[in-house]
Structure 1
Amino acid sequence: MKKTIYLLCLFIVTAVSAQKTDEEQLKSIYTAALTEGKAYDWLNYLSNQVGGRLSGSVQAQQAVDYTKLQLDELGLDKVWLQPVMVPKWNRGLPEFAYFETDPGITTNVPICALGGSVATPYGGIKANVVEVKSMDDLAILGKQRLEGRIVFFNRPMDPANISTFESYSGCVDQRYSGAAEAAKYGAVGIIVRSMNLRLDDYPHTGSMSYGDLAVDKRIPAAAISTNAADLLSISLRLNPDVNFYFKQNCEQLEDVQSYNVIGEIKGSTYPDEIMVVGGHLDSWDLGDGSHDDGAGCVQSMEVLHLLKKTGYKPKRTLRVVLFMNEENGLRGGNEYAAVAKKKKETHVFALESDSGGFTPRGFSFDCSEENLAKIQAWKPLFEPYLIHMFVKGHSGADIGPLKNDKMVLAGLRPDSQRYFDHHHAENDTFEHVNKRELELGAASMASLVYLVDTYGIVGTK
């Protein structure tokens, strides 16, 4: 009997001593990410073998096939494709533009069509250009000054904000709604200053909307590079009669079927409580979508790889979801949430990476004060890795439809100073991603997932 008790005690002591402390588990996650990570190689393939992954394109389907194969090879409990209908918009032949200061005296400028825009007439559009800074300017100028003209929205991103996402939010309305508003005053087209803090020659695309504007009233919309925007603005000050010409060949086609790519590790203790980590698999077509959002996808895949590599078995069911169509429709995020609701699934936590593959600084959380306080208590565990930001804020567009009063939504927050140099532009390419920064972001995500799974959130078991 004494021998039995002794052996039992020895087993318990051995089992407890074999368990890693939180510090040890985080250390093993970061070490595995930096020495045995797969994220950079995955991104290399997505960027350089597949390329830009516009929703509905051949490249988007290639990305679906590739990422599903990689998740299959990780040995997860389940990997599947979730069908979703997505919009199919084609850019067509490259755009062309110039402005004319005097008859025959022209300056070519780089532009790109905004996502969802209609094409110009076959021969393009040439008209007097009127510069505005805001939607309010349209009402002030009125139909008399704007009818038959091209509106040039030239409100820059505010350089005074440390958070560049705040600067982006402060001026993106002109890109998204500018065409719909300008059309009300009889404008024949719009040109929008690129959402970019840097002065360069890359026009930045992005989604736009005509709202409920009738199809025959829609006007073409394009972005112009920041250098060209400044040059055009100066030219208008010298000569208000400047004409602008542009031609673009884009078209909106019928919706097509695509997929969210999902991989799952079943929870060992609370399998009905689901934790999601993800990014969006689609991208714009100008670059290869390395930062937006190839980085977020491979980091999310890496979370499952790192937890398996370090021998951690999740208590709760952990899913990686690579969402389709965040850029011009959010169809993937909405479909995932709709299916989850239909199946009456219980999601307790969701983490998204969609801010680039730069050096991680921390996380923002959309949750209750009680859950924020619980998570902030883990902050000292991240300090050795220079992760210091645990704040309330936006989580991510794709996980937003999952939101309820009980769960925690989170977003990885990398350093944002360089993000908008590449966002939606031709230079969002693989060579602008630093391997270590990408890996550190994945490790930070895996560490947060480990802690939430280990200790739960307020209201979970």
Structure 2
Amino acid sequence: MKYPLLKILPLFLGGILFSQNQKDSVQFKNISDEILVNGTAYENLSDLTQNIGHRLSGSAAYEKATDWAVLKLKEAGADKVWKEDVMVPVWERGKESLQIKEPNGKWKSLRMLSLGNSEGTKGKDVEAEIVFVKNKEDFDQLPDAAVKGKIIFFNYAFNQKFISTGQAYGDAGKYRRSAASWAGKRGAKAVIIRSLSSALDDVPHTGMMRYDADDTAKIPAVAIGPKSADELQKTLKSKKVFAKLNSNCTMKGEKLSHTVIGEITGKKDQNVIVVSGHLDSWDVGEGAQDDGAGIVQSIEVLRTFKSLGLKNNHTLRVVCFANEENGVKGGNTYAENIKKNNEKHLFAIESDGGGFTPRGIALVMSPEKRTQIQSWKNLFLPYGVHNLEMQYAGTDIEPMKEFGVPLAELVPDSQRYFDIHHSDEDTFDKVNRRELLLGSVVMSQLIYMIDKNW
């Protein structure tokens, strides 16, 4: 029986596509098996967090972490490893305390953390009445006399209605970033904010704040836990409350530090595919979920390619960025250098949402590229990844957007991340081995597809 060519061709092409999908599915399973059975990310994270701990940029611990990253990239099989010079800000916390005066005249201590990059009180007690406002709109309604000489307390809560906790974090983030300048420019002595946390515990969370260019006051900014915030608000409804703040935090200029980079050279060309996380953390906790998890997951991608003998067409580069937390100097410097060196980058992904179970991949790229990746959705579904619709990317790789580099971010389940983010609770014991490794699985699978098809 003879068939017209137009009828045969779709069947033929469909058969090729089906066969190719089968091959990719098999390779996805090979990647998953290798990582879940032989993966070293969990052990590497234990080593990083237990033997080095938290690693704020500019600290001795961070410099120790750069040597650790060089060693781990070499162990993973990188054929080139180097440190990229980065000038980073140096901020030191020092001793700090926040107390409120009780009716009997005694001072009661509250758990608190100064916000990153905040100036302190230079070790002197700053005592003033606390003035409560719920949000920026309420603050703007206050007369100047109610602000000057006071400690302004912003109790803006995480919006529990948002299913994505990242959305709530973005919504509340302006209070951490800007409340000090809002109040300082109107004569306040200090600000207290409610921590950016989805939990209802008494754990304070730090994070970067900044002063406006025209803010010469540079007043101290501190955070308290949600429970303390609600209790303080309740007390302020019935009486005046005075607080005493003492902190030694301050900026101490800049110093030379490093982003750590390792790669496997491409067999076809030296166009670069980046997989990344940030090596620095805040100076509390152990920096396990933020972002030790992203670092060890990225190194695991490289190890997996070497272990499975996957000959990457393009250069596979792991970038362990410096200074994401309080300056993004690592990401900006990296982007400047790829422009200076005229390096072509095909793609970059960052993992900076914790080592929880992967649920999706956020994509910032042309509609054509996004559609292509979304066409691979069925390959990812067996591994729990179902959402390829989000459009955002990691802070460190965002500067590459200027050069048209397609960007992505691994999206883990977000429900627990901001319970521990930027706090003493960000410790290794909160990380589940299987969840952490599955993040590496998904990133490796995506990199395999990008390397093969782009």
Give the TM bin, normalised by the shorter chain.
Answer: over 0.9
User: Cα offset for 1:247?
Assistant: 1.4
- What is the correspondence of 1:8-407 to structure 2 with a 5 Å cutoff? 21-93=23-95, 95-102=96-103, 104-213=105-214, 215=216, 217-239=217-239, 241-271=240-270, 273-404=271-402, 406-407=404-405
Q: Shift of the alpha carbon at 1:404?
A: 4.0
1:447 to 440, 445, 448: 445
Q: Aligned-pair RMSD on alpha carbons?
A: 1.6
CA contact (8 A) 1:102 1:242 kept: no
Q: Distance in 1 between matches of 2:218 and 2:143?
A: 18
State the identity %.
44
Distance in structure 2 (CA, Å) of the matches to 1:359 and 1:146: 45
Report which stretch shifted further, 389-398 or 43-52: 389-398
- Structure 1 letter corresponding to 2:291: D
Match of 1:9 in 2: none
Mean Cα displacement is larger for which, 325-334 or 20-29?
Answer: 20-29
Q: Give the SS at the match of 2:389.
A: strand
Letter in 2 for 1:116: N
User: Does 440-449 or 247-256 show the bigger shift?
Assistant: 247-256
Distance across 1 between alignment mates of 2:102 and 2:155? 18
Q: 2:408 aligns with which of 399, 407, 410?
A: 410
Structure 1 residue 419: deviation in Å?
0.2
CA distance in 1, matches of 2:444, 2:297: 9
In structure 2, what is the Cα distance between the partners aligned to 1:122 and 1:380?
58
| Partner SS for 1:392 | coil
Deviation at 1:385? 1.2
Deviations 1:244-287 (A, max 9, x none): 1221111211211110100111111132x211010000000110
- CA gap of 1:221–1:123, structure 2 versus 1, over 3 A, is same
C-alpha distance in 2, partners of 1:135/1:295?
Answer: 35
Deviation track 1:84-141 (CA, whole Å, cap 9, x = no partner) reads 0101111112x22222243514432101111111111433211111111222322210
2:418 matched residue in structure 1: 420
- 1:274–1:318 contact (8 Å) kept in structure 2: yes
Unaligned runs of 5+ in 2: 1-18
Give the Cα separation in 2 of the matches to 1:191 and 1:149. 11
Alpha-carbon distance in structure 1 between the residues aligned to 2:337 and 2:131: 47
- Three-state SS of the structure 1 residue aligned to 2:178 is helix
State whether residues 77 and 303 of structure 2, in contact with CA within 8 Å, keep that contact through their aligned partners in structure 1.
no
CA distance in 2, matches of 1:452, 1:182: 48
Q: Distance in 2 between matches of 1:435 and 1:176?
A: 33
> How far apart, in 2, do the equivalents of 1:73 and 1:373 lie?
36
Contact preservation (8 Å) 2:147, 2:188:
yes
Q: Secondary structure at the match of 1:288?
A: coil
**TM-score, reference length from structure 2:** 0.93
CA distance in 1, matches of 2:353, 2:322: 16
TM-score (norm 1): 0.92
Q: Provide the residue aligned with 1:7 in structure 2.
A: none
- What is the total number of aligned residue pairs between the two structures? 436
The AA in structure 2 aligned to 1:69 is: L
- Cα deviation for residue 407 of structure 1 reads 2.9
CA distance in structure 2 between the partners assigned to 1:153 and 1:46 by the alignment: 36
Contact preservation (8 Å) 2:76, 2:300: no
Q: For residue 361 of structure 1, report the CA deviation from its aligned partner.
A: 0.5
Aligned partner of 2:255: which letter?
V
8 Å contact from structure 1 (residues 307, 313) kept in 2: yes
Amino acid in structure 2 at the alignment position of 1:243: F
Is residue 101–residue 235 contact of structure 1 (8 Å, CA) maintained in 2? no
Answer whether contact 1:142 1:185 (CA < 8 A) is retained.
no
Matched residue type, 1:310 = L
Distance 1:142 1:395 in 2: 40
What residue ranges of structure 1 are gaps of 5+ in the alignment? Answer: 1-16, 457-461
Query: Which secondary structure state, in structure 2, belongs to the residue aligned with residue 389 of structure 1?
Result: coil
2:218 & 2:412 partners in 1: Cα distance? 38
Q: What amino acid is the match of 1:299?
A: Q
**More displaced stretch, 170-179 vs 126-135:** 126-135
Q: Is 1:367–1:392's contact at 8 Å kept on the other side of the alignment?
A: no
Deviates more, 1:411-420 or 1:261-270: 261-270
Partner of 1:434 in structure 2? Answer: 432
For 1:312 and 1:150, the matched residues in 2 are separated by: 59
SS at match of 1:269: coil
SS in 1 for 2:396: coil
* Alpha-carbon separation, structure 2, partners of 1:235 and 1:74: 55
Aligned AA for 1:110?
R
What is the SS of the residue equivalent to 1:319? strand
Aligned partner of residue 73 in structure 2, secondary structure: helix
Question: Could you tell me how far apart the structure 1 residues matched to 2:127 and 2:211 are?
Answer: 21
- The alpha-carbon distance between structure 1 residues 286 and 406, as it changes in their structure 2 partners (threshold 3 A), is closer
Task: Give the conservation status (yes or no) of the 8 Å contact 1:367–1:405.
Answer: no
- Could you tell me how far 1:20 is from its partner in structure 2? 8.5
Alpha-carbon distance between aligned partners in 2 of 1:295 and 1:304, rounded to the nearest angstrom: 15
82-91 or 115-124, larger mean C-alpha shift: 115-124
Question: For the residues of structure 2 that align with 1:101 and 1:152, how far apart are their CA atoms?
Answer: 17
Q: Which amino acid aligns with 1:208?
A: M
More deviation, 343-352/262-271: 262-271
